[in-house]
Structure 1
C-alpha cells in the first residue's frame, strides 16, 4: 500500500456512485483514492437484474424518487441523464435491451458495467480495495482517512458507502456515522423496495405462497400497476416492492385484483350467467388458488343469480380494494435499497457538497433520495456521482 500521500479527493465506497465519481473526477485531472472494504468493486451492480444489471431507466425524472425534498434530485438527474449513461454503455460496445417500463438491461453480464466503470478510471485513480476504514478526521482543510492498509489525506472527501440494505454484501451504516460526525442530519433510514410481511390472521393468503397476479397496489394516494406475489411471509413482487417505499407501520395496503374489469361487471355477469358462482368466475380470471381463497373470504357460495345486487356490488368493491395491514417488512436483508439517509437540506443540489463543511460530499444511496424499482436508483448513483465529481 502507498504511504500517506496528498490526493485531490478520497472517495469512500466503490459501488455505482463511487466508481462513477472517481472515474469522472480522474478524467478531470484529479488524483483520487477510491477506498472500499470489499475485495471487489460494484457488489450491488453484480447482483442486480438477475446478474444482467438493470443499469438505468429511460423514464428517470425527479418525480420517480422519494425524498423529504422531492425536488432535490432534479439538478443532478437533469445534468447527467439516462441517455448520457446509455451513450457510455454504447461507447464500450455493451449490448443492451429494454425489458419493460423503460428498464434497460445488459444482454450479457452485469460484470460488463463494472468493467466499464473501472475502464473509465484513468491512472490518476488509485483503487484501494479490501481495506476497512478505521477512522476519518478533518482538520486544517484536510481529510484524513485511516484504513487497515494505510493513511490517505486529501482536501476533498466523498461519502459513497451506501445504506444498510443487503448486509451480506458488506453494507453498513458507515455513511450515517460519518455524516453525523461532520454535522449532517439523518432522515430515519428504513428498508425500501422490500417485501411486506402479514400477521397471522392473514394465514389464508400466506398459504398462497408462489402465486403471482397483475394488480394495482395502493398506499394512500400512490398506486403501482404491476405484479404482486404471495410469499410464505406475506406479499412481494414488483407492485409490492414499489409501494413499500411509501408504506409506514400502521398503514393499510389496498390491492385491486381485477384492475381491467369495468364498473358493475359482476352484476352485469349475473344477468348473462345467472348459474355461475363467484368462485368459478374468479377462477377464469385469476390463478385458481387465489380465486378460491378470495371467494371463501367473500363468503360466496351460491349462484350469481341467487345473490342480491347489493351484495355483488360489495363483493366487487372489495375485489377492487382488498385491504391488507402489513405488520412489517422483511428488513434490510431483503431490501433492494434504503429509504431515508443523509438529509438533503444540508447538501448542495448542484454537487452534493455539505453546505457547512467545504470539501465534503455525499452521494448515491447514502443520501435521502430513493428511486422506484427498475433502474432508477442506479441512475441516481450515476447522476449524483457525476455531479459531485464536478465539484472535486
Structure 2
C-alpha cells in the first residue's frame, strides 16, 4: 500500500477511536447522573469542567503542534485520554470532586489530540486531488455510532460502567500503539507558527464562531439527547435518540464532500442551519418517539458538515499555519461542544428540558448570518487583490 494511503488509514483509525471513546463517555452520562444523584444544574456544573480545561489547554495545544510533529502529541494525548476514560468509570462510583478532576484531565487530553488530529487531516488533504476531510469526520461519527451501540448493548445486559469503560480504554491504547508508526511524519510548518496577540483576525473569528455554534449543538446533543429521551420522550432505551443523531451525522459526513462540490460552501452552511432549526423545533413541539427521532435525524444531518468544512477553510488561513489556525478555530469548537451541555443543564433546571433545547435551535440559525459575513469578507479581499 502506498505510504500516503497508509497515512490516511492510520489517521482514519484515530478519528474512529476518538468518536468511539467520546460517545462511550457521553452515552454513560445518564448512568453517572443517577449514580451520583445529581440534578440538572449539578450535572451542568460538573460538565462545565470540560470547557474550562479546554481553555487552559489552548496555549499548550498550539505550542505542541508548532514545535513537534503532530503524530507525537496526537498519540500521547490519546493514550492519556483513554486512561482518563477508564477513571471516569471509577469516579462515577466515588464522589463528584473526583469526577471533576478526572474530567478536567480527560478534556485537556481531548483538546491536544483533537487539534493534532485535525492538523494532520488538513496537511494530508493537500496531498489528494479530491476532498477527503469530510470522510475523516464521517469516521469520527461512525465510531460514535458503534460506541453508543456498544453502550446500549451493555446497558441492556446490565453491565456496569467500570468494566465497560475499562474495556474501551484497553482496546484504544492497544490500537493506538499499533497505528502510531503509520501516521504522517515531518509535518512541521515553516512559517505562521507564532500566535499574534492583538485585534482578532476576522478570518479566524468568523470561522471560530461558525464552529462554536455548530459545536454547541453537537456537544449538547451528545450529552443531553439520552436524558431528553429518558425524561421528556419517556423512552426506556434512552440511547435511541443519540444513536439516530449519530447515524445521520455519519451519513451526512460521508456525502458532505460531494454536497459541497455540488452546491458550494455558502449554500451548505444555510442548508445546515435550516436542518438544525427545523429538527430541534420538531422535537420540542412533538416530544414523542417518532417525531423526536425524525427531529434528531435532521439535527444530525445539519450539524455534520459544518466542522470539517470550516476546518478546511481554517487550513487556508493567510496569516497562520494550519496547526495554529486549527488550534484557534478549534478552541471555539471545543468550548462550544463542552460549554453547550452545562448551559442546557442550567436552563433545564430553571425552566424545563424542552425549553432548554431551544438554545440548539438558536445556535443553528446563527450559522446563516455568520457564514454570510465570512464570505462577504472573502469577496472583499478578492476584489481588493484584483
| TM category, shorter | under 0.3
Decide which structure has the larger Cα Rg and report it: 1
TM-score normalised by structure 2 residue count: 0.25
TM-score normalised by structure 1 residue count: 0.25
Q: Which has the higher helix share?
A: 2
Q: Which has the higher strand share?
A: 1
